[in-house]
Amino acid sequence: MAKRPTPGVVETPVGTPDMKVREAFAKGWAVIVWNDPVNLMSYVVFVFMKILGFTKEQATKHMLEVHNRGKSCVAIETREKAELYHQQIQAHGLTVTIQPVDHESE
Amino acid sequence: MKASRDGDRIVLALGGGEALILRWALVSLVAAYRVPPGQIDPRIAAVWYSRRGCQTAKMSEEDAGEWVRQIHAFKSENLALIEAWLGQLAKKPGRRIELVLTVDQAEAFVRVLNDHRLRAAAEHEIGQEEMDIRDPGPMERLGPERQTALVEIHFFAWAIEEILRQIAPDAAGWGAGSE
């Protein structure tokens, strides 16, 4: 049964621009870099330091995770920031995906 | 090839043969960067303009198309630089040549060489098994075209490593092993 609107109260329907803005700025998007046979280990460390601002230690840890486990979650960010990282990392030739954190373990 | 640093300039000293290989790679990259993503060999598109992340991000077809166009624009920004490098390489064909880059240009140079490696691997179906080849027997079984591609991939890996030692010493040192 449809809910009757309360007089004087403006309800925000699902999927409105307000919700899209909230979703865009909620920090719930994982940036995942995947292993591939061609990119060099040194190059991957370089890209992580340059784009993600990682220290040598952070970059090395994530590079080794990609190498040994096949992937590494390198950032959990707002959708907007995750999309930026996604594009920058892909432009450097690494294989990268973004997805909501709930699905990160898939 | 030997890379050295002189202040904010990176100097690459190339033998005649190395310069020819580099020149050929850059010429072929210029041609490939000029091809719109929708018209490029799908094997190259799969590594340069992969939409895998667009799918997991549930982007609309229109947004994914714009995303790919922006990556293509980013790559195309290197065209003028590549033409300038080709100009330097053309000065003394066949002899020892110095290619001089700023540090910023050296970063772009590394990205461009990496794009060439990715493209060569995609075009010639070079995967982990081929990248791990160290003995002559398995190498010979690849056939001449794939052998050439594999040697080029390893040559440019070494070149990238040399340059990273100059511009990002904290990142370098993992050798030319693939990720």
Chain A residue with minimum CA distance to B67: A87
Give the number of A-B residue pairs with CB atoms closer than 8 Å.
Answer: 110
Place of tokens 């947004």: B63
**Chain B residues near residue A42 by CB distance under 8 angstroms:** 160-161, 164, 171-175
Q: Which of A46, A66, A96 has the CB atom closest to B171's CB atom?
A: A46
Q: List the pLDDT tens digit at each of the 106 positions of chain A.
A: 444 445 555 555 555 667 666 666 677 999 999 999 999 999 999 999 999 999 999 999 999 999 999 999 999 999 999 999 999 999 999 999 999 997 554 4
Write out the two tokens for B163. Answer: 């340059």
- The answer to whether A11 and A50 are in contact (CB under 8 A) is no
Q: Give the pLDDT confidence score for residue A27 in this predicted structure.
A: 76
CB pair distance less than 8 Å for A40 and B157: yes
CATH placement of domain A25-103: 3.30.1390.10
Residues B108 and B78 sit within 8 Å (Cβ to Cβ): yes
Mean pLDDT value of segment B47-65? 95
**In the prediction, which pLDDT does B95 show?**
72
Contact residues, chain A, for B115 at CB < 8 Å: 93
Say if the Cβ atoms of B52 and A93 lie within 8 Å: no
Phi, psi dihedral angles at B42 (to 5 degrees): -55, -30
pLDDT value, residue A103: 58
Between chains, do A40 and B160 touch, taking CB under 8 Å as contact?
yes
The CA distance from B126 to A38, in Å, is: 8
Q: What pLDDT band is residue B76 in, cutting at 50, 70 and 90?
A: very high
The pLDDT score that the predictor gives to residue A3 is 44
Rounded average pLDDT over B2-24:
94
Residues B135, B75: contact at Cβ < 8 Å? no
**Minimal Cα–Cα distance from A16 to chain B, Å?**
17
Residue of A nearest to B58 (CA): A99
Q: How far apart are CA A21 and CA A91, in angstroms?
A: 26
Nearest Cβ partner of A66 from B118, B131, B179? B179
Cα→Cα distances B164→A13, A66, B52, B59, B150, Å: 52, 20, 28, 35, 21
**Using the beta-carbon criterion (under 8 Å), do B71 and A87 form an inter-chain contact?**
yes
User: Are B37 and B72 in contact, with CB atoms under 8 Å apart?
Assistant: yes
pLDDT tens for B17-43 read 999 999 999 999 999 999 999 999 999
Residues of chain B with Cβ-Cβ distance to A56 below 8 Å are 170-171
Which residues on chain A are in Cβ contact (under 8 Å) with B175? 41-42
Q: How does DSSP assign chain B, residue by residue? A: -EEEEETTEEEEEE-HHHHHHHHHHHHHHHHHHTS-GGGS-HHHHHHHS--HHHHHTT--HHHHHHHHHHHHHHHHTTHHHHHHHHHHHTSSTTS-EEEEEEHHHHHHHHHHHHHHHHHHHHHTT--HHHHT--SHHHHHHT-HHHHHHHHHHHHHHHHHHHHHHHH-TTT--STT-B-
ipTM summary value: 0.93
Go through A57-90 and write b for each residue having 16 or more CB atoms within 10 A of its CB, e for each that does not: eebbebbbbbbeeebbebbebebebbbebbbbbb
